[in-house]
Structure 1
Amino acid sequence: MKLVLKKSDSVVSKKLNIHTRDVPCLDAMWHYHPEIELLYITQSNGIRFVGDSVAPFFPGDLVLVGSYLPHLWRNDASYYTEETTEQVKTIVTKFTKDFLGDEVFKIAEFYEIKKLIDDCKFGLSFGKEISKHLHDDIVQLPTLSPTRQYIKLLDILDKLSLVSKEDRTVLSSSDMRQTTTESSERIDTVLKYISDNYASSISLDNISGVACMTTNSFCRFFKKMTNKSFTQFLNEIRIKNASRILVQENTPISEVCYIVGFNSLTNFNKQFKQIMGATPKKFREAI
């Protein structure tokens, strides 16, 4: 997944771009862009990467991604087969920080919205009740006239700015905003390999070879680029996929363990509790 600076498809002078996507893998690469992005999933699931955050996404997933923060939504493998019947629908809203002008958010009345925009530099995920409450507003966005889109987006941002801290989650634990593409091709190759092969055995020697680096150099490189060790990152992807399966399917826990790439049920349970805060059994019972 190549980390690249992505330019908006819209005319350069346009400060707001809204469109609906109905194809899997919203972007083919880990990327960032100067615009802020509000992304709402109405259909499909998979894994999302925002900064150093790795988490499953479901219908109703609503995330605000700040400027220059690397991110990627990647659907499950089943979405990419020729015979798939899986449906995808996502509403993507990109806007510049000054989409209403340079001075608007300096006005005291817009303080909460300005704070929301500042806070999203690490990425913000909103709870199910919030996305459900805003569903009609967001779905309506692509159908409106340009003027109404600006007004409606301001209204949505106003509502999001008033959401309590309990109903929103900061995603990236560190500042991974990009201003350069240095080492981007290498991390792109590594992340794509991990996301495509996490269910198989991936040794440190394997992944170092993919990056064309020695194991010691790779460990330093990966930690610098993701703020996590390779083992920690791989375990998170596996466990977050496991949590999605536990939510959506009735697959026995002992089978989920092997489906996501663990070869020991004991280790799977240990890693799951460490990452998710509960054992797989208690996690499923709490749903």
Structure 2
Amino acid sequence: MIKAQFESLNPKSHASFLVNSFKLESFTVPYHFHPEFELTLIVRGRGKRYVGKNMGDFEDGDLVFLGSDLPHSWKSEDVTEPGGYVQSIVVQFERNFLGTEFFNKPELANINNLFKISAYGIRYLDKTTENISSQMKLLAQEENAFRKMQMLLDILENLAISREYILLDQDGMVAQQLNSNKERINAALGYIVDNFRNEILLNKVAGIVNMSPNAFCKYFKKVTNKTFMDTVIDYRINFAIRQLLSTDKPVSEIAMESGFGDVSHFYKIFKRNMKMSPLNYRKNFQKGL
């Protein structure tokens, strides 16, 4: 898959929002987006999480709330233990699933503010994650539609009043785009997410967004304040850093797995970005353990 996909969600006729529990061999859903808000709990699994321009590691208990049209994907680690599985609970709903003015009521001001912040992608931490995880597991098991709705509102209020979180797409690049721009920039980011570990072709991504390579480069720089290739390098360095810190793989192998075709080039780019060599970066981290 080479671009962020638009996903059409269709709640069942007797429900105004979706609650799904997935148990799979691995998370392989491509980088995608949809107008619905999404709350995702990773019950079991580990790998890389992509939200907007952010890439991070995820593991059991990862809890993230996403705003409308914010592109995202959870991708499992390459190696899965025999007989292993991953599991998640995903809640999806439209902004107006309870009516156009429902969340504008003063009693729901906290949730209304939550919806605004979610445009940046919110990852919850500590006690909030523990409490909401328990609530979501009960929500997934609940069969009564009215009680299900009450439980969702409770969850949203608890998320809204929590201060135990970090924003994922902190520069808000995706959140700040006009709706007319979102599909184009999401497609470009999707190409990077799915291809940064391989050869990146400017003509390919320019074709995906129906622009000439020169026009695309100018457009991408205007929207993101970075060149297309600098953004690709950011993803590659980020991936390499996580491999340096979480594995004992040799630097040469990490360089290749991160999309750098030449080890010496990797050393040069890494030192330029991180102000030290990959080996020193790993040693400094290990000293701090």
Structure 2 length-normalised TM: 0.76
Report whether the alignment pairs 1:268 with 2:270: yes
Q: Which residue of 2 aligns with 1:63?
A: 64
Quickly say closer, same or farther: Cα 1:56–1:162, change in 2 above 3 A. same
Q: Which residue of 2 aligns with 1:239?
A: 237
Output the amino acid matched with 2:87. K
Q: Which residue of 2 aligns with 1:256?
A: 254
CA offset at residue 61 of structure 1?
2.0
Quickly say closer, same or farther: Cα 1:61–1:176, change in 2 above 3 A. farther
Q: Deviations over 1:137-175 (max 9, x none)?
A: 1222211122232222222222211222x6322525222
Q: Deviations over 1:103-122 (max 9, x none)?
A: 44333332222211121122
Match of 1:30 among 29, 32, 45: 32
| Cα distance between partner residues in 2 of 1:62 and 1:193 | 25
- Residues 37-186 of structure 1 mapped to structure 2, 5 A cutoff: 37-78=38-79, 87-145=85-143, 146-164=145-163, 167-173=165-171, 174=173, 175-176=175-176, 179-180=179-180, 184=184
SS in 2 for 1:72: strand
The 8 Å contact of residues 68 and 178 in structure 1, kept in 2 or not, is answered as no
| Cα distance between partner residues in 2 of 1:50 and 1:63 | 10
Higher-RCO chain (CA-CA 8 Å, sequence separation at least 6)? 1
| Cα distance between partner residues in 2 of 1:84 and 1:29 | 26
CA offset at residue 92 of structure 1?
0.8
| Cα distance between partner residues in 1 of 2:237 and 2:60 | 19
Output the amino acid matched with 1:240. N
Match of 1:207 among 202, 212, 215: 202
Q: Which residue of 2 aligns with 1:21?
A: 22
Quickly say closer, same or farther: Cα 1:59–1:68, change in 2 above 3 A. same
CA offset at residue 242 of structure 1?
2.8
Q: Deviations over 1:195-249 (max 9, x none)?
A: 44433454xxx33245446542331243456664222321232233234334543
The 8 Å contact of residues 36 and 94 in structure 1, kept in 2 or not, is answered as yes
Output the amino acid matched with 1:154. L
Output the amino acid matched with 1:265. Y
CA offset at residue 252 of structure 1?
4.8
SS in 1 for 2:179: coil
SS in 2 for 1:251: coil
SS in 2 for 1:231: helix
The 8 Å contact of residues 50 and 193 in structure 2, kept in 1 or not, is answered as no
Structure 1 residue ranges without an equivalent (≥5): none
| Cα distance between partner residues in 2 of 1:8 and 1:193 | 22
CA offset at residue 88 of structure 1?
1.9
Quickly say closer, same or farther: Cα 1:246–1:154, change in 2 above 3 A. farther
Structure 1 length-normalised TM: 0.76
SS in 2 for 1:59: coil
Output the amino acid matched with 2:156. L
Quickly say closer, same or farther: Cα 1:3–1:284, change in 2 above 3 A. same
Quickly say closer, same or farther: Cα 1:239–1:46, change in 2 above 3 A. farther
SS in 2 for 1:20: strand
| Cα distance between partner residues in 1 of 2:77 and 2:239 | 9
The 8 Å contact of residues 55 and 237 in structure 1, kept in 2 or not, is answered as no
User: What is the root-mean-square deviation in Å for CA atoms of aligned residues?
Assistant: 3.5
Using the aligned pairs only, state the percent identity: 28
The 8 Å contact of residues 52 and 227 in structure 1, kept in 2 or not, is answered as no
